[in-house]
Structure 1
Amino acid sequence: MAHLDHPSWLEAFLEMLIVEKGLSKNTCDAYAFDIIEASKTLDILQASSCDMLHYVHNLSFEGSLHPRSVARRISALRQVYQFLYQEDYVKINPMADISIPQYAPSIPQVLTMEEMRQLIDTAKQNTSAKGIRMYALLELLYSTGLRISEALSISLVTLNAVLQETQEQAGMLCLRGKGDKERIVFLTQNAQDALILYLSVRSKMPFSKNPYVFPGKSGHWPRQSVGRGLKVLALRSHIDPKRISPHGIRHGFATHLLEQGVDLFSIKSFLGHRDISSTQVYTHVTQRRLSQVLKDYHPLNYINQELH
């Protein structure tokens, strides 16, 4: 994974993340980006503890980055300096006493169940090969809660094997997700039917010789292209396109399961979260919706509205 713009110590660090920690390429690219951005201000191999305190203070209070991005930048620096110190690139670890600031997790914006069904119904009406492809991907995402990168990385061989399984195992899809973690997700019958329909027209798609279920020029269908297609579909469904994204389908899957009474630990398993705290953000979404329902439909609110 050599890169001409990366110094040797950064290459060694990124290789360690892949080999020892099993992190994905996307995660490693994010670490590399944050460290390179920091190196525009700091001399990474010469920075003192005071330099780092000053840098983190400015990063936290200048307001140019979202608090979550600040936390990620500091986490990247903590990890790279731990590596540099252990490998004797630096004599001290200037990040040793600097903690990651806490931030309030952002509450994901999700479509309602009715809007999600409306989106899928609109996609289903387009009987062109590309329309069927979008319909199949939507059913796959909403059936499983997969990350878009996970869905697009499914191979044709894997899907064919899943769809040809016996009744007991039909629809069970085993995959490796974030951090190379293995988990099983389940395709609903609607998703299976949509994917079977799509496979019947897949040969009409560009780059159909590529091994992925959803092929593209450089391998699989690009995420950016999926995002643009979803926004067009949202407009056709009379939904604000700003409220829809590939990852938003995953948020909707989790939120709607929670609203239907599914427990958090089951949802955690479906999503492949390492920690239950990552899943608990969906309780805030549900609480927010319940609060709005109470405001809209509580009988005393109607009385107040009539008095005014």
Structure 2
Amino acid sequence: MSASDRDLITRFLEMLAAEQGVAANTLSAYKSDLLAASQLLDGKLNHAGADNLAELASNWRDLANSSVARKVSALRRFFAFLHEEGFRADNPSAALPKPPQARTLPKILDTDEVEKLFAVIADKLAQPHPAPADYRLAALIELLYGSGLRATELAALPRNAVVSDQPFIIVKGKGAKERLVPISNRARQAVGTWSAMIPEKARFLFPSRASHISRIRLFQIIKELAAQAGLDPAKVSPHVLRHAFATHLLAGGANLRALQSMLGHADIATTQIYTHVDSSRLVELVNRRHPLATRTLTRRAAGSNRQA
């Protein structure tokens, strides 16, 4: 692979991180996709034309649409960067394929299943001498389901993020953007109990030997809890609990815009898809609340026939 390709890819990723605050996971995926594309084109990705991009696309035939969409996104943004920065006089990305993007709904936990998770935690804390890990578990689950935090947001919470008399916490989300997230009385209590067990020098609310609890360890803890609750561990994750928070809150009558703010979504369309409410409830809402709900179409039609 030519040094120029690697150098330009590095500059592009640095721009995304510095100017657009793109998440580390996305940067890592883009880097992998771009380096693979460069290798397929013998290190001449920055000089690629329409034929070269068609050649790349032919190598993606057996991939899932979501994977192709990610690769296309990385290349589109890369070529836009090259064009805007003057490394290319043109932008060939129009030749890239446009895979259909079916936005699938996340896995669902109903309220009974969530109750089973909390029942296990309650049993652990009801023992004569609960382990510190049990108090940590209570704080983790209360924050995940009670505030809808992302796994990375939860893991990196500073020790003083939760204040006993404050109903909100400040969370640093995607793109290093900060937002206010409400925290329940239950969560404040659980976090307060756990905080008293954290070493005084700890920087994070959920510390580990290196810095803070890892996303991998957080996933493992949630899977273990699911198994103890008699649920399929494959069905439960931090993201599923975040989704349950959104779904159950919206079903309870929460405002969509307020929910968008709490979840940290830049686009409300993401919130609408992510927080799927039963269609039956939406139909009932229209029939009960819409101004035309009390008007009878057949009566008006009869009147129109007499006038005719």
Q: Same fold (TM over 0.5)?
A: yes
**Deviations, residues 142-162 of structure 1 (Å, cap 9, x unaligned):** 111110101111111333xx2
Q: What amino acid does structure 1 have at the position aligned with 2:252?
A: Q
Name the residue aligned to 1:186. 182
Name the residue aligned to 1:120. 118
Select between 235-244 and 43-52 the one with higher mean Cα deviation.
43-52
Select between 273-282 and 26-35 the one with higher mean Cα deviation.
26-35
Distance (whole Å) between structure 2 residues aligned to residue 286 and residue 81 of structure 1? 42
Within 5 Å, which residues of 2 pair with 1:46-57?
A: 46-56=47-57
Percent of aligned positions that are identical: 35
Distance (whole Å) between structure 2 residues aligned to residue 51 and residue 289 of structure 1? 50
Structure 2 residue 88 is matched with structure 1 residue 87: no
Name the residue aligned to 1:222. 214
Structure whose alpha-carbon radius of gyration is higher? 2
CA-atom RMSD in angstroms: 2.4
Within 5 Å, which residues of 2 pair with 1:55-74?
A: 55-56=56-57, 58-59=59-60, 62-64=61-63, 66-74=64-72
Name the residue aligned to 1:135. 138
Instruction: Judge conservation of contact 1:152–1:214 (CA < 8 Å) in 2.
Output: yes
2:249 to 249, 253, 257: 257
Name the residue aligned to 1:267. 259
Select between 97-106 and 6-15 the one with higher mean Cα deviation.
97-106
Name the residue aligned to 2:306. none
**Structure 1, unaligned runs of 5 or more:** 292-308
Name the residue aligned to 2:172. 176
Distance 1:250 1:219, change over 3 A: same
Distance (whole Å) between structure 1 residues aligned to residue 113 and residue 30 of structure 2? 36
Query: SS of the counterpart of 1:111?
Result: coil
Distance 1:284 1:192, change over 3 A: closer
Name the residue aligned to 1:103. 101
Distance (whole Å) between structure 2 residues aligned to residue 71 and residue 143 of structure 1? 33
The TM-score, its normalising length taken from structure 1, stands at 0.81
Structure 2 residue 42 is matched with structure 1 residue 39: no
**Deviations, residues 210-232 of structure 1 (Å, cap 9, x unaligned):** 41111123311011111111111
TM superposition shift of 1:281? 1.5
Query: SS of the counterpart of 1:258?
Result: helix
Distance (whole Å) between structure 2 residues aligned to residue 176 and residue 84 of structure 1? 30
Q: What amino acid does structure 2 have at the position aligned with 1:215?
A: P
Q: What amino acid does structure 2 have at the position aligned with 1:34?
A: D
Select between 279-288 and 31-40 the one with higher mean Cα deviation.
279-288
Distance (whole Å) between structure 2 residues aligned to residue 247 and residue 234 of structure 1? 14
Name the residue aligned to 1:154. 157
Instruction: Judge conservation of contact 2:50–2:92 (CA < 8 Å) in 1.
Output: yes
1:248 to 240, 246, 253: 240
**Deviations, residues 136-177 of structure 1 (Å, cap 9, x unaligned):** 100011111110101111111333xx22x4xxxx12111221
Matched positions, count = 273
TM superposition shift of 1:80? 0.8
Within 5 Å, which residues of 2 pair with 1:22-33?
A: 22-33=21-32
Distance (whole Å) between structure 1 residues aligned to residue 169 and residue 145 of structure 2? 14
Query: SS of the counterpart of 2:244?
Result: helix
Name the residue aligned to 2:147. 144
Query: SS of the counterpart of 2:179?
Result: strand
Distance (whole Å) between structure 1 residues aligned to residue 143 and residue 277 of structure 2? 23
Query: SS of the counterpart of 2:278?
Result: helix
Distance 1:111 1:290, change over 3 A: farther
Structure 2 residue 198 is matched with structure 1 residue 202: yes
Query: SS of the counterpart of 1:150?
Result: helix
